[in-house]
Copies of this chain bind each other. A is one copy, B any other.
Amino acid sequence: MIKDDARGVALLQYVLNRYGLFMGRPIRTRRQATLASLAAELGVSRTTVSNAYNRPDQLSPELRRRVLETARRLGYAGPDPVARSLRTRTAGAVGLLLTENLSYAFRDPAAVGVLEGLALACEDAGVGLHLVPASPGREDVAAVHRAGVDGFVVYSVPDDDPHLAAVLARPVPTVVIDQPAIEGVDRVGPDDAAAITELAGHLVDLGHHQVGVLCMRLSRDRNDDFASVERQRSAHFHVQRTRLSALAKKFEAAGVAWSTVPVVERFEHTVDEGASGARQLLDAYPQVTALICTSDILALGALAEAGRRGLRVPGDLTVTGFDGIAEATRAGLTTVHQPVLEKGKAAGKLLLATNEHMTPRVVTLPTELRVGATSGPPRTAEELWFGP
């Protein structure tokens, strides 16, 4: 009985809808066709219509043709993706959390490379890539909850970011890139400590003892200034913290007291800010012979500033970067190259591999020290007095 009533109502509703009416209301917009209305129009069951789209082999070609034909006539574009997702429990998309400024993400070739790699992996698997709107400023975590995705990739996010916490709370798999290890979460990234230690070794071997560092933002609060050792230690950006601590360790081992090494921080990650950071550092510490930058973008700015000051590179000043972006290569920068495209791809593959795995997986990417034309031995005392 109940079923019959329900059907009767559904039918009535359907008829009204067809004529652009709502129950008891004046004419409005014509309702969209649904799988049910299509079935009613055809006089078949919803199953059959569903099969026409999802299991073509489950019904006669003739019937299928009729279904599709009628669908076209009614302007029905196929099963509603959201309803399907609810029913099948898969969204067909992965989310990307990226709390940095978008302008950073799209302007740093290294970040774009990661994005591209991830997008490629998604494309291969036929799943969408959902960019979660999460600006660093906004505390509103709702966007994370609203994202209909089967998993998340988290990239370049401070470890105390509320969005990250929100992602981890969601009952879907997660992969982090360049982030600290998290219990039960897959991880992708280079061995930052080893890579920059090798770079530091290169500088030590050249004879540098008076070094300075130019790094990206260490925490969510802005500090376009020198960063104390304490601030370095408590940095919330894993990559920066790791690189700084590895540098500290290496230089301490080489007899350089880390507390005497100036570290300048910049919130915005641009070439101009790199130049400004280099200016600030060199103004205060003109005796520095090597400027270690934690990214190529910053290093390019430092090179520009060196040029502005009339410093020859590497004669007067050694400059190094990190990432190995194309423009750095063209500039002959000494840097550490990391395979950014692979980073994104690996993250995507990890997330999309359905393999049941017990322990969280870790992909460590190879890096390569690329000695370019911007690093050389420091000025000696004689050179300082008598010229090179």
Contact = CB atoms under 8 A, between A and B. Distances in A.
Contacts of A120: 102-103
A102 B116 contact: yes
A102 B119 contact: yes
Contact of A145 (B77, B113, B119): B77
A165 to B, nearest CB: 10
Contacts of A113: 106
A388 interface: no
Contacts of A133: 122-123, 125-129
A132 interface: yes
Given A82-B148, A148-B82, A143 B128 contact: yes
Contact of A75 (B82, B127, B147, B171): B171
A83 interface: yes
Across the A-B interface, the 5 shortest Cβ-Cβ residue pairs: A106-B116, A77-B169, A129-B131, A123-B133, A92-B146
Contacts of A84: 146
Contact of A130 (B32, B75, B77, B128): B128
Interface in A105-144: 106-107, 112-113, 115-116, 119-120, 122-123, 125-135, 140, 142-143
Contact of A77 (B103, B127, B142, B170): B170
A85 B123 contact: no
A353 interface: no
19 contacts: A32-B171, A77-B166, A77-B170, A78-B169, A79-B145, A80-B86, A81-B148, A84-B146, A85-B148, A86-B86, A92-B147, A93-B147, A102-B119, A102-B120, A103-B120, A126-B133, A126-B140, A127-B133, A131-B131
